[in-house]
């Protein structure tokens, strides 16, 4: 018997099981509490499976992350090294991410917080003018999401550029790569968007050293992982004026503890890891396609390189 274990941390899994049944009645999808025999599980589809469980399925053939990132899978040391890991690559998510980043860039550029503050005092301040041509967005990560975001920003007339690990030639898009390219990207950017995977190389990359290369009054958008940001360096950069504001969708501690200073800081726009939530219908189509490929012995999609970390 081949069973697909479906698990999503902190949310009911029943809608996902029902969607599997609707799209692929031949696939036996079950939640964790209905796995009687771990040896029958050949695929795990999960967001944050409890630590240590991957090692308990002796016939596991595929780990399918229920997210674009796989840091939650790689963190489990019980994971059998030979089992392939796939992530979600879904145009629906790229569009949602683009919407979120555009929302944050426009909210900063058009100074919505200023108007909210004026409104609270029943008055409008005069003399605010906007110069979109001065907004230069640097996107860290030029993968599935980063490229979509950079192109969407270009479509709005903003000067976008991107940074990746390997060199890239992308028509009409200024690109930088490698350690030396990071400072150059920051120096030309008035807004920095993080869309990197969380790896040993990228952990803590949003730090004082990088902020020092940004022009005074820049804007930071972190929509990748909380582990990319050194929070003390963020507050120091906001206090010094190096950064004028930050939009944080992801935090090192999620859910954010009630005493965290970000809650009370008007310079920080907070959202609860919703920049690009996984979509029930379109993501299940990706999962079903990969499971069918696995069972037919065909090449899988969205495979990651565990050694590289993404
Ligand atoms: P992806 O397609 O794997 O792209 C990753 C990009 O990062 C690639 O361009 C890669 O460079 C670059 N990169 C990796 N390590 C690097 C390094 N050390 N230096 C420079 N560049 C590096 O990933 P994706 O699908 O775009 O997703 C990116 C991340 O977004 C995910 O890992 C996840 O953490 C986050 N995410 C957040 C949300 C949310 O709701 N907040 C939703 C979805 C995803 P190369 O092109 O040279 O390989």
Tell me, using a 6 A CB cutoff, whether residue 273 lines ligand 1: yes
Minimal-distance CA residue to ligand 1 atom 37? 224
Q: What is the mean pLDDT of the chain?
A: 97
Q: How far, in Å, from the CA of 195 to the mean position of ligand 1?
A: 5
Tell me, using a 6 A CB cutoff, whether residue 138 lines ligand 1: no
Minimal-distance CA residue to ligand 1 atom 33? 69
Q: How far, in Å, from the CA of 184 to the mean position of ligand 1?
A: 19
- pLDDT value, residue 116: 92
Q: How far, in Å, from the CA of 305 to the mean position of ligand 1?
A: 13
Segment 202-230 shows an average pLDDT of 98
Q: For residue range 249-299, list pLDDT tens digits in order.
A: 999 999 999 999 999 999 999 999 999 999 999 999 999 999 999 999 999
Tell me, using a 6 A CB cutoff, whether residue 69 lines ligand 1: yes
Which of the listed residues 48, 145, 185 should we mutate to test ligand 1's pocket, taking the one with most ligand atoms within 8 A of CB? 145
Q: For residue range 179-194, list pLDDT tens digits in order.
A: 999 999 999 999 999 9
Residue pair 90/283 in contact by the 8 Å Cβ criterion? yes
Segment 55-71 shows an average pLDDT of 97
Segment 36-42 shows an average pLDDT of 98
Catalytic residues: 225, 273
Q: For residue range 102-140, list pLDDT tens digits in order.
A: 999 999 999 999 999 999 999 998 778 899 999 999 999
Residues 6+ away with beta carbon under 8 Å from 217: 190, 241, 242, 243, 244
- Is residue 228's pLDDT more than 80? yes
- pLDDT value, residue 170: 98
Minimal-distance CA residue to ligand 1 atom 16? 165
- DSSP secondary structure letter of residue 39: G
Tell me, using a 6 A CB cutoff, whether residue 199 lines ligand 1: yes
37 — pLDDT class (breaks 50, 70, 90) = very high
- pLDDT value, residue 14: 97
- Prediction pTM value: 0.96
* Distance (Å, whole) CA 53 – CA 51: 6
Start-to-end CA span in the chain (Å): 31
Which of the listed residues 141, 195, 271 should we mutate to test ligand 1's pocket, taking the one with most ligand atoms within 8 A of CB? 141
Which atom belonging to ligand 1 lies closest to the Cα atom of 70?
32
Residues 6+ away with beta carbon under 8 Å from 86: 62, 63, 64, 65, 290, 300, 301, 302, 303, 304
As to burial, measured by CB atoms within 10 angstroms (0-12 exposed, 13-18 middle, 19+ buried), residue 208 is: middle
Which atom belonging to ligand 1 lies closest to the Cα atom of 224?
35
Tell me, using a 6 A CB cutoff, whether residue 225 lines ligand 1: yes
Which atom belonging to ligand 1 lies closest to the Cα atom of 249?
41
- pLDDT value, residue 213: 98
* Distance (Å, whole) CA 200 – CA 174: 26
Tell me, using a 6 A CB cutoff, whether residue 247 lines ligand 1: no
Query: What percentage of residues in the chain have a pLDDT greater than 70?
Result: 100
Tell me, using a 6 A CB cutoff, whether residue 94 lines ligand 1: no
The per-residue DSSP string of 235-283 comes to: HHHHHHTSEEEEEES--SSSSPPTT-GGGG-TTEEE--S-TTPPPHHHH
For the ranges 119-128, 152-161, 189-198, 210-219, the lowest mean pLDDT is seen at: 119-128
Q: For residue range 159-184, list pLDDT tens digits in order.
A: 999 999 999 999 999 999 999 999 99
- Is residue 1's pLDDT more than 80? no
- pLDDT value, residue 125: 84
């Amino acid at each position: 018997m081949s069973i697909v274990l479906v698990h999503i941390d902190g949310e009911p899994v029943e809608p996902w099981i029902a969607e599997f049944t609707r799209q692929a009645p031949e696939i036996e999808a079950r939640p964790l509490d209905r796995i009687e025999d771990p040896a029958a599980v050949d695929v795990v589809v999960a967001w944050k499976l409890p630590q240590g469980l991957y090692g308990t399925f002796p016939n596991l053939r595929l780990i399918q992350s229920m997210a674009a990132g796989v840091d939650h899978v790689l963190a489990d040391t019980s994971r059998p090294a030979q089992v392939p890991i796939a992530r979600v690559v879904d145009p629906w998510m790229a569009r949602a991410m683009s919407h979120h980043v555009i929302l944050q860039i426009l909210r900063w550029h058009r100074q919505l917080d200023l108007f909210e503050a004026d409104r609270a005092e029943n008055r409008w301040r005069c003399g605010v003018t906007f110069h979109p041509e001065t907004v230069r967005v640097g996107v860290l990560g030029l993968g599935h999401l980063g490229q979509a975001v950079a192109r969407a920003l270009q479509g709005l007339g903003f000067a976008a550029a991107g940074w990746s690990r390997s060199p890239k030639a992308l028509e009409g898009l200024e690109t930088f790569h490698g350690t030396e390219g990071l400072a150059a990207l920051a120096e030309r950017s008035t807004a920095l968007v993080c869309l990197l995977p969380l790896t040993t190389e990228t952990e803590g990359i949003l730090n004082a050293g990088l902020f020092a290369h940004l022009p005074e009054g820049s804007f930071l958008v972190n929509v990748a992982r909380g582990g990319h940001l050194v929070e003390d360096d963020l507050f120091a950069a906001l206090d010094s004026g190096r950064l004028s504001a930050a939009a944080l969708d992801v935090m090192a501690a999620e859910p954010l503890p009630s005493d965290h200073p970000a809650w009370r800081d008007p310079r920080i726009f907070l959202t609860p890891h919703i920049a690009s939530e996984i979509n029930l219908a379109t993501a299940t189509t990706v999962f079903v396609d990969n499971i069918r490929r696995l069972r037919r012995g065909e090449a899988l999609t969205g495979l990651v390189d565990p050694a590289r970390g993404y």
